Structure 1
Amino acid sequence: MKNGTHYRTCHLCEAMCGVAIEVKAGKIASIRGDNKDPLSRGHICPKAVALQDLHEDPERLRKPVRKTPTGWQEIEWDEAFTTVAEKLHSTRSTHGRNSIGVYLGNPNVHNHGSLIATMPFLRAIGSQNRFSATSNDQLPHMLASLEMFGHQVLFPIPDIDNTDLFICIGGNPMASNGSLMTVPDFRGRLKALKQRGGKMIVVDPRRTETAQLAEEFHFIRPGTDAFLLMAMVNTLFSDGLVHPGPAEQFIKDLGLLRLAALPFTPEAVAETTGIAAASIRDLAHQLANTPKAALYTRMGTSTQTFGSIATWLAYCLNILTGKLDNVGGVMFTQPAIDLIALGAMSGQRGHFGKRHSRVKGLPEFAGEYPASTMADEILTPGEGQIRAFVTVAGNPVLSSPNGRRLDEALSGLDFMVSVDYYINETTRHADIILPPTAALERSHYDIVFNMLAVRNVSKYSEALFDAGTDSRHDWQILLELAHRLEKLRKGNKLPLRSELGWQAFKRVGPDSLVDLLLRTGPYGVDTSRVRGVLEPTTSLILNLLPKHHPLKGLAKLSSLNPQWKELPKGLSLKRLKENPSGVDLGALRPALANRLFTRDGKINLAPRRYLKDVERLHRQLSAPASTGELLLIGRRHVRTNNSWMHNSHRLVKGKDRCTLLVNPDDANRLGLQAGCDAEIRAENRCILLPVEITSDMMPGVVSIPHGWGHDRDGTQQTTASAHAGASINDVLSDQHIDPVAGTSVLNGQPVTVKVSQSIQPSTSARTTQGEQHASMATVEPD
């Protein structure tokens, strides 16, 4: 690698911050924000500086390893590929295609190579037992987008650079820099919002880092966001504030939504939510009466028992108040590589409930079952039982509920392989680990997060370091395994045409496909000089060819479509290489008429599956409140993202962040003291954590951060183990789900908290002896 400054995109969270990496003598000398990046504008968070730690980590695997009775042993790539392919093929041949399970972790969506190679790999596996981090995260948002707009990843994004009122419920963008809203430098954008006379309102069970900057804050009882949002809908109808604006001509079933909201007056839900009726009514009025306003919800609302309804209602509130497709409201992006339109053209808009899981009967979404049932499918005998397992860039033992049960399930598999470069809490169960190159050793293009960004941009980063001849990119690993599995399925001999296709795919790689998609997309080939010649041909294609003809679809996506006439042109991989800080493609634009993918071209305001679940919501409204238990919520810190960054010293140093946050009133009632251990228990699941007392917590609510719990034997992450913490998922039950989408309930599960037997201040979190015994006696992302 040449010395000097190299420009890249940080891949460690959704924010897509631009970084300038200074290299001297072949080593990283410094990492700073890239002031020329059109999206992040010089902003970085502490995680970006840790890119060096992750790249240089001596515990990162560089070659395949195999588990032996005496420990891990390095093996050559060919032997590793042969063993994995033969073991998976043998399992499928003996027990059927669904005897193999696959789990995809969230780092895959930060990696265009892995994204492109995943589909042929999954086809070669052939199993219906697929899982990912989706059902522990954003599944309710995807379901609402599918039900209402006709496409699973057509998300309305807050136009925060132009809004005057930002209402944030169950999100913490100061820590996350956005989630399903790629918004680097949230603090700077919030400052600009306030300077133009705007304000922010936050609703959360914890006074988060974001809430501390808000002009208005409301505590809300975990799991009750749907009641608040339904009461806001009720207020809009009862007070004559329904004005859909640009969306009015596209909506249907407005009357059904009004009827569903009738019982949920602000007065009826005030006690349940913990928010006064007057405050609920005022929230609805502020949203309705501010022309440029956006309502945003995230993890706190989606991963709870009424997460699906809450997400649907948030979308409805933006629509009812005229904020959808309005500048300063919530808008749809127009990315350079438009997976939304590409998917729709090929019939891949998403699907839900086409089949159900074998044990719990949970619905699939886009071909995946909820992660909460992984352990069930491994441990429960019968046809379709998972006997072999593949994980790709995931650590579900720490990121999925009831991690100890999943631990035991993975330990009993016939075979397991992991594509990962760490021996962590999940991969320690693998028989073979195939380590991909590190992020700085491969090129980078954000296919997914450009679809979620608050501004349309495009940026490509070349590999910063040479990976070496004896290494493999993750896309190469996945394609090689897929190729070998296909050959074994065909009797070890593919037809010549198929063989040549596989070889070409492996040789060309993902960058060539990115270039093709850029050139043929809406910002691609500049046709201005020959538009007079091409426009008649394009019009002919668009108007005369059948609706689903491939040429018609390609013409609509390309820069030939008159719809894209005003967009900047000339985008290609070559141009992005010439502009390493990225290319600005402009602010979000109104696009509703061209972005709906429902069959009738209408927004479905009242999908029947939500209306049916309103009955459950109404029953809960009159249910007696539980007593004696606290409600548990998670939290996130700006220095971490799930479980895979804790082996960086600079990200875990300083004050212990894996603590139990408790309100002073609850601490006094329970006899808890700051710094001493508390026992957090739910049924037979129990962990110990040091107590941190703070008035930032709502009374009756406690909080544990997500992604810790590095105290398991057999891992090889020294720094993470030295800062082990405890896993919130060792307390959470995998039996608690949102029945509509099958999403794991990660916020609002009841727990009991008491003083630990230990009277010494805690130095590290520990699993109790009772929990260890339970996890061994019971059959036991990210």
Structure 2
Amino acid sequence: MTTAVETVMETQCPFCSVQCKMKITEKVDAGMRSYTVEPRQNAASEGRLCVKGVNAYQHALSNERISEPLVKRGGEFVPISWEEAYALIAEKITATQQQYGHQAVGVYGGGSLTNESSYLLGKFARVALQTPYIDYNGRFCMSAAATAGNQAFGIDRGLTMPLSDIRISDCIILAGTNIAECQPTLLPYFTDAKANGAYIIVIDPRLTPTAEMADLHLKVKPGMDAALANGLLKVIMDGGFIDQDFLEQRTTGFDEVKTYIETLDLSYIADITGVPKEDIELAGTEFGKSASSLIFTARGVEQQTDGSLAVRNFINMLLATGKIGKPGSGYGAVTGQANGQGGREHGQKADQLPGYRSIENPEHRKYIAEVWGIAPAELPGKGVSAYEMMEKIHTQEIRSLVLMASNPIVSNPNANFVEEGIAKLDFLVVVDMLFSETAQHADLILPTSSYLESTGTVTNLEGRVLLREAARPAMGMAKQDWEILSDIAAALGKGRCFQYETAEEIFEELRVASRGGLADYYGITYDRIRKEEGVYWPCPSLDHPGEERLFETVFSRPDKKAEMKAIANHFPKEKTGSRYPLSLTTGRVLGHYLTGVQTLKSPTLEARQFESFVEIHPKTARRFNVKDDELVKLHSRRGEIIVRSKLTAAIREDTIFVPMHWDGIQNINKLTSDELEPASKMPGFKVCAVAVEPLLASS
């Protein structure tokens, strides 16, 4: 008689920025394996899990995992040893840099990497490769909100307050964020707030599950969020809802904003935004008269060619009414990726050094160089943003690329252009655990560990630093990201600066590197995180509790005041017309994550939704002879895709929606524009001009 064997794995979900905790129990009985998943109590999700978290073990334990290094020979991937892989990398990168210079090699990271891996990836690019060219897919997640936060407040942290403030707020605006599908374990905060009397306003071109919860839904035209915020500001100012004392004592720039807003006509704002004037008046009045208010933005507002300006304008609303730095009031950028917050703080971005330091600041360069044991002159300068890296790959200014935990062929705008560029690379190294569409183009694939197999910290959307510990050994020959980077550095002759035995050793170095920076982690240790269930940054010393609510007395700008800025009404750069008459917007669905590399390897999640779709209003569908549940062709100035139609009155008549999780002929980013916002370099994913027709009509 055999005895069942159980293995218990305590871990955190690898997907969104809530970082829900869970216990996975593996049971082996008579050769059969089964799994049960239970949520665990934690401060953010309060013991909840969504459908993605419940099924996250499936991709991590999939038999499709890459378990050994693979090199492409004769168009096929064949196994090689780690030693051979490292030797090949050293040979190819050295040859590239000898012929074309250090800048001919680029590094492209991901927002799901731990803080330790993110930190080390930046150090690897700048010390081991000495290249300025490093950026990551988080550029498409938080860069617009980060730019706005840095400009207005002097610091960028996703939420300026703890999640618990949601329940005590009187008015909440959710602008371009679909919490119910993207961060569903946070939804009870908002439903509880509503039960407590909060007035909830959702701004979105679609009637999403989040909008269904709202007291008021403002069905804005895609790309017109900044103008809508101007309309709300006009109602607030005309209604006398401003906080004059707060404005005088704690802000600058209000007079400029006031002067501009006084020139605006609310009927005109209603016309250009597509939101009825009476709804703008109601929303502005409810926000203005409330004792406390919160504003949350996400990609719907931020992934625009004026994304940071739109966010600045929503921040203007909070500052004008003095609703920040107080219980129940503040601003929140709802982070998408698992470590979208921490991933942008410690060196993956083109212009950043650890601790949110600037690579162009001589004092910052000197400090980090000392931590790394090199001369400041050895540090390269500022690189370019993620999509601009793809342009440099296309022109072969970047000829070799080290890619870690990202899938740019699907996630970047103008995806056909990106794929053409990737195909031109002389040498592409992909570090991943599953075959992505980009990995198919690799010359060498290195197998990395899953979230179940790696130890490291992540920073959730609140700015709370959490520790996720390895729950099982790595699969096959896979290694942790930081081990791979350290080994490659050694193969390149730079091993002296990459002598680590554990992830905790890297975090100890990160603590020192971040000390005194905007994102100061110096007072945070693994032991503290274990004891306190996470620690908020900034945390400058071991006896500091961590700052859960920012800006209670001062802002982080040099003058200690927040900066307001007049934001002119903006229109999308790409206009609709007779050839491309509809506005396309994109987003997520509940069961999938990013480009689907992980969730589409989950049988349960794939079964829930195995193909993409386009939401189109019934009246619009009749106009273009589209029937429900049929294959249709969508095309823009950049490409075309084929998806299945889904008729719904939940979307504006001038707008269609397609999710972002599928590749190939369903890859929506074959259509999206590569226009970038000047300040943040965020692409305008959320609005481009398209046409739609039944597939058979084009045959």
TM over 0.5: yes
The equivalent of 2:560 in structure 1 is 601
Kept after mapping to 2: 8 A contact 1:202/1:216 = yes
Which residue number in structure 2 is paired with residue 475 of structure 1?
Answer: 482
2:647 paired residue among 668, 693, 718: 693
Choose which of 613, 616, 627 in structure 2 pairs with 1:673: 627
Residues in 2 aligned to 1:115 and 1:577: alpha-carbon distance in whole angstroms: 21
Counterpart check, 1:737 vs 2:679: no
> What residue is the counterpart of 2:450 in the other structure?
438
Task: Name the structure 2 match of 1:573.
Answer: 526
**Change in 2 beyond 3 A, CA 1:105/1:61:** same
Match of 2:686 in 1: 747
Residues 311 and 572 (structure 1), Cα distance of their counterparts in 2 relative to 1, 3 Å cut: closer
Equivalent residues of 2:199, 2:286 under 8 A apart: no
Q: Equivalences for 1:542-621 in 2 at 5 Å?
A: 573-574=526-527, 590-592=549-551, 596-606=555-565, 614=568, 617=569, 620=571
| 1:234-261 C-alpha deviation (Å, 9 max, x unpaired) | 3323332211676752211211122233
Q: Which runs of 4+ in 1 moved over 6 A?
A: 337-347, 351-354, 515-518, 556-559, 581-588, 621-625
Q: Aligned ranges for residues 319-334 of structure 1 at < 5 Å? A: 319-330=319-330
Name the CA distance, whole Å, in 2 between partners of 1:745 and 1:553: 30
Q: Aligned partners of 1:346, 1:424: CA distance in 2, in Å? A: 29
**In the alignment, which of 46, 69, 93 is matched to residue 88 of structure 1?**
93
Choose from 171, 177, 183 the match for 1:171. 177
Residues 461-509 of structure 1, C-alpha deviation per residue, up to 9 Å, x if partnerless?
A: 431112268431111111222233344xxxxxxxxxx73x53xx322x2
Q: Which residue of 2 aligns with 1:765?
A: none
| Aligned counterpart, 2:587 | 635
Give yes or no for the alignment of 1:373 onto 2:388: yes
Instruction: Give the whole-Å Cα distance in 2 for the aligned partners of 1:341 and 1:680.
Output: 38
Offset at residue 14 of structure 1 (A): 1.1
Does the aligned pair in 2 maintain the 1:161–1:193 contact within 8 Å? yes
Matches within 5 A, 1:270-349: 270-330=270-330, 348-349=356-357
Please tell me whether residue 652 in structure 1 is matched to residue 606 in structure 2. Answer: yes
Aligned to 2:35, the other structure's residue is in SS state strand
Q: 1:404 aligned to 2:409?
A: no
- 2:214 matched residue in structure 1: 214
The aligned residue for residue 255 of structure 1 is 255
Instruction: Report deviation, 1:72.
Output: 0.6
- The residue that corresponds to 1:41 in the other structure is 46
Q: Would the aligned equivalents of 2:454 and 2:469 in 1 still touch at CA under 8 Å?
A: yes
Is residue 13 of structure 1 aligned with residue 24 of structure 2?
Answer: no
Q: Say which of 132, 139, 143 aligns to 1:135.
A: 139
Q: Is the 8 A contact 2:223 2:572 kept in 1?
A: no
1:667 is paired with a residue of what secondary structure?
A: helix
- Aligned AA for 2:695? S
Structure 2 residue corresponding to 1:484, chosen from 485, 491, 516: 491
Amino acid at match of 1:604: E
Q: Which residue of 2 aligns with 1:704?
A: 658
Alpha-carbon distance in 2 for matches of 1:349, 1:195? 42
Q: Matched residue of 1:223: which SS?
A: coil
2:372 alignment partner in structure 1: none
C-alpha distance 278-670 of structure 1, shift in aligned 2 (>3 A): same
The answer to whether the 8 Å contact 1:21/1:28 transfers is no
Contact preservation (8 Å) 2:614, 2:644: yes
Q: Max radius of gyration: which structure?
A: 1
Distance 1:67 1:339, change over 3 A: closer
Partners in 2 of 1:622 and 1:480 — Cα distance?
45
Normalised by the length of structure 1, the TM-score is 0.76
Contact 2:202 2:216 in 1 (8 A): yes
CA distance in 2, matches of 1:482, 1:624: 47
1:61 counterpart (41, 63, 66):
66
The CA deviation at 1:46 is: 0.9
Judge which range, 698-707 or 463-472, deviates more. Answer: 463-472
Q: For 1:241 and 1:140, how far apart are their aligned partners in 2?
A: 28
Shift of 1:352: 9.0
* C-alpha deviation, 1:11, in angstroms: 1.5
Specify the SS of the correspondent of 2:78.
strand
The question of 1:50 aligning with 2:50 is answered no
The change in CA–CA distance for 1:204 and 1:341 in structure 2 (over 3 A counts) is: closer
Supply the AA of the counterpart residue of 1:273: T
Query: Residues 576 and 689 of structure 2 are in contact (CA less than 8 Å); yes or no, is this contact kept in structure 1?
Result: no
Q: Distance in 2 between matches of 1:486 and 1:176?
A: 43
Q: Would the alpha carbon gap of residues 107 and 228 (structure 1) be closer, same or farther in structure 2, given more than 3 Å must change?
A: same
Distance 1:437 1:756 in 2: 41
Is 1:12–1:641's contact at 8 Å kept on the other side of the alignment?
yes
**In 1, distance between residues paired with 2:247 and 2:210?**
30
Task: Check if 1:146 corresponds to 2:150.
Answer: yes
State the shift of 1:28 in Å: 7.0
Q: CA deviation at 1:376?
A: 2.3
Matching residue's letter, 1:67: K
Q: What is the identity, as a one-letter code, of the residue corresponding to 1:22? A: T
SS in 2 for 1:467: coil
Distance (whole Å) between structure 1 residues aligned to residue 200 and residue 97 of structure 2 = 54
Secondary structure of residue in 1 paired with 2:190: helix
| CA shift digits 1:392-432 (9 cap, x unpaired) | 10001000111111111111111111111222211111110
- Shift in Å, 1:708: 0.7
- Partner residue in 1 for 2:120: 117
1:423 aligns with 2:435: yes
Matched, 1:506 2:500: yes
- One-letter identity of the residue aligned with 1:733: S
Q: CA RMSD in A?
A: 3.7
- Which consecutive unaligned segments of at least 5 residues does structure 1 have? 178-183, 355-365, 488-497, 522-547, 560-570, 712-724, 759-767, 770-782
Contact 2:576–2:690 (Cα < 8 Å) also in 1? no
Q: Distance in 1 between matches of 2:469 and 2:572?
A: 54
Cα–Cα, structure 1 residues 576 and 134, in superposed 2: closer, same or farther, change >3 Å? Answer: closer
Secondary structure, counterpart of 1:438 in structure 2: coil
- How is 1:508-523 mapped onto 2 (pairs within 5 angstroms)? 509-514=502-507
1:390 match: secondary structure: strand
The reply to whether residue 156 of structure 1 matches residue 163 of structure 2 is no
Query: How far has the Cα of 1:151 moved from its partner?
Result: 2.8
Q: Tell me the distance in 2 between the aligned counterparts of 1:131 and 1:375.
A: 10
Give the AA of the match of 1:704: V
Residue 161 of structure 1: SS of its match in structure 2?
helix
Tell me the secondary structure at the aligned position of residue 296 of structure 1.
Answer: strand
Match of 1:526 in 2: none
Cα distance between partner residues in 2 of 1:102 and 1:557: 25
The aligned counterpart of 2:376 is none
> Match of 2:387, as an amino acid?
S
Deviation sequence 1:207-249 (CA, Å, 0-9, x none): 1111111121121110111110112223323332211676752
Deviation at 1:576, TM superposition (A): 5.3
Q: Which residue of 1 aligns with 2:666?
A: 726
Q: In the alignment, is the contact (CA less than 8 A) between 1:21 and 1:29 conserved in 2?
A: no
Instruction: Indicate the percent of aligned positions where both proteins have the same amino acid.
Output: 23
How far did residue 273 of structure 1 move? 0.5
| SS across alignment from 1:301 | helix
Structure 2 unaligned regions, length at least 5: 334-338, 363-380, 537-543
1:537-562: per-residue Cα shift (whole Å, max 9, x none)?
xxxxxxxxxxx9x8x899x9877xxx
- Report if aligned partners of 1:38, 1:583 keep a CA contact under 8 Å in 2: no
**Structure 2 residue identity aligned to 1:726:** Q
Q: Does 1:107 align with 2:112?
A: yes
Higher alpha-carbon deviation: 159-168 or 220-229: 159-168
Does the CA-based 8 Å contact 1:663-1:693 persist in structure 2? yes
Q: TM-score, normalised by structure 2?
A: 0.84
Conserved 8 A contact 2:138-2:343 = no
